[in-house]
Chain A
């Protein structure tokens, strides 16, 4: 790249992006951090338009404006409960864009080779300074083509490796995200499903991709690249289809990571440092998030990706006792008597859109002088931090919303715990039953409280299909019904 100014702008943009991620360490600084991100993006785009991307300005700007319009619509209309879907579908766009850019690089490479070949010049360039004739010809090309035309044989080889990587990861991200979106939005059945052959099919497709990639690098032409893309699309589809709804937090953060690596790979092939920096940042961010989610579920990354739970090792303990139901009056009496209340929200709260009612309940209880806190499990919901966002939307102050580690020791001294639409994250089997599929997963120890109310639609098991002994404990009462309706019924009776 010959534009010093552009590189300088990229450096500033990279710093701004890092600041914008670093600022997310606290709620208040995060508000400033977003502006850093926006400024960085604006700077990067402007610098590219002035510098190496200075062709078809009008069209670029019109396209950006159109994209802005669609993005604005999406961002302002989305319900907070739908955040996971939105994030997933946005990842798919990044993936697809990466595929397009990768293909463009391939096509341009062919065109450059053709042009130089017609002029009787060697391509890739031999080592050493450019021939004067070649220099003149390159001068007539567009910026991007000129960049490619100057490459030597080894550089072209590496460029192709990166290009293949970028396209492959981008394509996996694309279909994977679309399926994740479908599952989160309820348009695709959330149960783990696989075509006959299961993971062998994935492995076969991956092997074939490797073969095709080798053939492409060996010079087999464009059809290998197309076929490779199709295979990657299939892998993305099949991989995510095989993962159950309960594992979606990991999947979404994993796809987030992939979209970053795709951007980084494309950055290599275009020789653009900013793309590399940002891709690496996003990639490592997603990887860390996936790691945190996996740890919260006590599962290895591989077992999540391979779908389904890691297989029970023996008979699960039989559960004794029965589930005892309770009505709103009973819950209200207990709440009015309690001094300290902990609310454990889960995906069920998001589904029932009950966060406003929960907030109202919190307000009333706090007004009555009771201590009300929220316990958030790291994998509650379908997206990392999902519950925090929902509660924030409903104006629950964030300083009473606590993490698992902060609150787990307090349950024995808590009078009433209300579990709203969560299941596995409060399952005592994780600690008591070594044969349980979720054995060893850290859980919220709600059963240690004096009384537990579980708001739940019916008697069935949750997403993961694991029986929950909590529901059968002596100090547990089941508050059946839609979470929102139940809470609304409860509200007038409080205070």
Chain B
């Protein structure tokens, strides 16, 4: 079969989905490769280089679409390209099926199968074809370079004969792939880097890249679990957002460069850098908004534009960072495509085996066999370990767990039955000699002991002292005995009973009062 890479027709798109290097690898899988003439020029790959790699170069896009059974692209197909769809063809490109329903319908009508590179599930096995990550990596790097281009000072602090240069302070908001790449680049340039993310679990990653985690005081259990949404940050509660903005406002005047990368899947980018924050920044500061395409994290961002505010802050809203580094991004993207093809060609025989049972292929496929298959079912393997705590029991396989449970259950049952048998035997033995009037009380006694055991196990550890005081107070119930006896006609009994009443009531009042005193002291911070 033939794989073809057309020239991207979107304005300003310099990337190409196949490089001479990737073509060599694809040929090893048994495919023939074809490119449109001039497809790689903008990324620095000449037609000659392709030909040298054994790739057929065709003159027009029409000829390419006709010749290739598999089309590898970067940008989603345009309406013009969609007209060239044909039955049985496989299209591999960024597709954004969620926002691109019309195009899915077109593909479905034409009988074209579509693999969306942006839908590759985030599981370990699929990392090699995760084009979003590889592009984000480039964007993060390029964001820092772009910032340096616009920033009038050094990144690193220097003390020179001509005076002292303070180091630049960089804040990276959102520590996803792009954010981490930006952190790495900024720190290696010598800037003091701070980073923020709503997922506290990435603090370690941030610190490992050499940046300081901007810590927000918020209790961990109020935070949503990022792992539940495939590793992307979920939307935040209003209180959390308020706290977050407050923190940003506090540090905004100190920052020289702010790089925002916060995106929430399927929603507009959250506004994290408001107008007043921009106004509080020093002139010459730079904001690079990587979320510009989705509305921007900064309130003032204009997509695809570089603007300068009244107070001299430069806000860069470019959306084409990968394309600005076309050679690098084409290399990475074409490698992603090549890995996808490798998974699609288990036999290395140059024919596609579109295995819909495979988690990765199923997840990325948007249209298949004249059916729209988006959205895919959730992958069978969780994207990220839910949380380290919950992870531990998972180490056992299901059978082992089951076996353990059964064994524990059996042991418990055995223990309980033995205890019950012994206790039951004892009770029966008592019942043999004791009269019925005694046994009536005995039932009450046994049940009370049982209730006591059940109830006391639940008492909080920190409340053991109050527990003792309270049990002490209520054990003075013995006063009832004394009260019953005091009416006796014997003087001795009356005196003893009176003493008993007195002592027990000291205990009752003392015990309850002191318990109340103690409990009143327990306060939450």
Which residues in A have some Cβ–Cβ distance to B below 8 Å?
A: 14, 17-18, 20-22, 24-27, 30-31, 33-34, 37-38, 40-41, 44-45, 48-49, 52-56, 59-60, 63-68, 70-72, 74-76, 78, 80, 83, 86-87, 90-91, 93-94, 96-98, 100-101, 103-105, 107-108, 111, 142-145, 152, 154-155, 158, 252-253, 256, 259-260, 262-264, 266-268, 270-286, 288-289, 292, 376, 378, 383-386, 388-389, 392-393, 395, 397-401, 403
* B484 pairs with A272, CB closer than 8 A: yes
Most-contacted residue by chain A among B435, B438, B502, B511 (CB, 10 A): B511
Minimal Cβ-Cβ distance residue in A for B458: A25
* B519 pairs with A263, CB closer than 8 A: no
With both chains docked as a complex, state the minimum distance between the C-beta of B415 and any C-beta of chain A, in angstroms: 16
With both chains docked as a complex, state the minimum distance between the C-beta of B343 and any C-beta of chain A, in angstroms: 41
Task: Given A56-B494, A280-B449, A392-B523, answer yes or no on A24-B486 (Cβ-Cβ < 8 Å).
Answer: no
With both chains docked as a complex, state the minimum distance between the C-beta of B213 and any C-beta of chain A, in angstroms: 13
A-chain residues with CB within 8 Å of residue B456 when the two chains form the complex: 21, 284-285, 288-289
* B448 pairs with A277, CB closer than 8 A: yes
Task: Given A24-B467, A86-B510, answer yes or no on A268-B445 (Cβ-Cβ < 8 Å).
Answer: yes
* B109 close to chain A: CB less than 8 A: no
Instruction: Beyond A21-B471, A154-B435, A271-B437, list 10 extra A-B contacts (CB 8 Å).
Output: A18-B455, A24-B470, A30-B460, A67-B506, A76-B513, A260-B475, A285-B455, A286-B468, A385-B462, A392-B518
* A71 pairs with B505, CB closer than 8 A: yes
Task: Given A256-B468, A385-B465, answer yes or no on A48-B480 (Cβ-Cβ < 8 Å).
Answer: yes
Give B149-183 as 1s and 0s: 1 = Cβ < 8 Å from A's Cβ atoms. Answer: 00000000000000000000000000000000000
Report Cα–Cα, A284/B448, bound state, in Å. Answer: 9
* B501 close to chain A: CB less than 8 A: yes
A-chain residues with CB within 8 Å of residue B444 when the two chains form the complex: 273, 276-277
* B502 pairs with A66, CB closer than 8 A: yes
Task: Choose among B455, B466, B510 the residue that contacts A75 (Cβ–Cβ < 8 A).
Answer: B510
Minimal Cβ-Cβ distance residue in B for A72: B509
With both chains docked as a complex, state the minimum distance between the C-beta of B302 and any C-beta of chain A, in angstroms: 39
Task: Choose among B461, B470, B525 the residue that contacts A403 (Cβ–Cβ < 8 A).
Answer: B461
* B474 pairs with A17, CB closer than 8 A: yes
| Interface size class, chain B | 35 or more
* B480 pairs with A256, CB closer than 8 A: no
With both chains docked as a complex, state the minimum distance between the C-beta of B247 and any C-beta of chain A, in angstroms: 13
* B521 close to chain A: CB less than 8 A: yes
Report Cα–Cα, A44/B463, bound state, in Å. Answer: 25
Report Cα–Cα, A384/B469, bound state, in Å. Answer: 11
* B492 close to chain A: CB less than 8 A: yes
* B462 pairs with A53, CB closer than 8 A: no
* B463 pairs with A30, CB closer than 8 A: yes
* B385 close to chain A: CB less than 8 A: no
Minimal Cβ-Cβ distance residue in B for A38: B512
Report Cα–Cα, A385/B501, bound state, in Å. Answer: 30
* B484 pairs with A90, CB closer than 8 A: no
Report Cα–Cα, A282/B452, bound state, in Å. Answer: 7
B-chain residues with CB within 8 Å of residue A398 when the two chains form the complex: 462, 522-525
B-chain residues with CB within 8 Å of residue A71 when the two chains form the complex: 505-511, 513
Report Cα–Cα, A385/B457, bound state, in Å. Answer: 14
9 contacts between A and B (CB under 8 A): A63-B505, A67-B504, A86-B510, A94-B507, A101-B482, A104-B482, A104-B496, A111-B490, A268-B441
Task: Choose among A104, A285, A395 the residue that contacts B467 (Cβ–Cβ < 8 A).
Answer: A285
* B471 pairs with A30, CB closer than 8 A: no
* B435 pairs with A158, CB closer than 8 A: yes
Report Cα–Cα, A91/B515, bound state, in Å. Answer: 15
Task: Given A45-B479, A76-B513, A281-B474, answer yes or no on A392-B506 (Cβ-Cβ < 8 Å).
Answer: no
* B481 pairs with A107, CB closer than 8 A: no
* B478 close to chain A: CB less than 8 A: yes
B-chain residues with CB within 8 Å of residue A93 when the two chains form the complex: 476, 503-504, 506-507
* B472 pairs with A94, CB closer than 8 A: yes
Task: Choose among A70, A101, A288 the residue that contacts B478 (Cβ–Cβ < 8 A).
Answer: A101
Task: Choose among B438, B510, B519 the residue that contacts A34 (Cβ–Cβ < 8 A).
Answer: B519
Most-contacted residue by chain A among B451, B457, B476, B498 (CB, 10 A): B476
With both chains docked as a complex, state the minimum distance between the C-beta of A338 and any C-beta of chain B, in angstroms: 16
Task: Given A52-B484, A272-B484, A280-B445, answer yes or no on A384-B460 (Cβ-Cβ < 8 Å).
Answer: no
* B485 pairs with A105, CB closer than 8 A: yes
Report Cα–Cα, A149/B487, bound state, in Å. Answer: 15
* B437 pairs with A155, CB closer than 8 A: yes
B-chain residues with CB within 8 Å of residue A66 when the two chains form the complex: 502, 505
A-chain residues with CB within 8 Å of residue B504 when the two chains form the complex: 67, 93-94, 97
* A100 pairs with B500, CB closer than 8 A: yes
Report Cα–Cα, A476/B5, bound state, in Å. Answer: 68
With both chains docked as a complex, state the minimum distance between the C-beta of B228 and any C-beta of chain A, in angstroms: 25
B-chain residues with CB within 8 Å of residue A27 when the two chains form the complex: 460, 462-463, 519, 522, 524
Report Cα–Cα, A25/B454, bound state, in Å. Answer: 12
A-chain residues with CB within 8 Å of residue B410 when the two chains form the complex: none
Report Cα–Cα, A375/B456, bound state, in Å. Answer: 23
Report Cα–Cα, A384/B499, bound state, in Å. Answer: 30
* B525 pairs with A399, CB closer than 8 A: yes
B-chain residues with CB within 8 Å of residue A41 when the two chains form the complex: 473-474, 476-477, 508, 512
With both chains docked as a complex, state the minimum distance between the C-beta of B189 and any C-beta of chain A, in angstroms: 28
* A55 pairs with B473, CB closer than 8 A: no
Task: Given A44-B477, A87-B472, A385-B467, answer yes or no on A34-B512 (Cβ-Cβ < 8 Å).
Answer: yes
Task: Choose among B487, B488, B499, B519 the residue that contacts A30 (Cβ–Cβ < 8 A).
Answer: B519
B-chain residues with CB within 8 Å of residue A154 when the two chains form the complex: 434-435
* B487 pairs with A384, CB closer than 8 A: no
B-chain residues with CB within 8 Å of residue A393 when the two chains form the complex: 518, 521
A-chain residues with CB within 8 Å of residue B490 when the two chains form the complex: 107-108, 111
Report Cα–Cα, A283/B474, bound state, in Å. Answer: 11
A-chain residues with CB within 8 Å of residue B513 when the two chains form the complex: 71-72, 75-76
Report Cα–Cα, A72/B505, bound state, in Å. Answer: 10
With both chains docked as a complex, state the minimum distance between the C-beta of A463 and any C-beta of chain B, in angstroms: 19
With both chains docked as a complex, state the minimum distance between the C-beta of A349 and any C-beta of chain B, in angstroms: 15
Report Cα–Cα, A386/B462, bound state, in Å. Answer: 8
Report Cα–Cα, A400/B524, bound state, in Å. Answer: 9
With both chains docked as a complex, state the minimum distance between the C-beta of B364 and any C-beta of chain A, in angstroms: 41
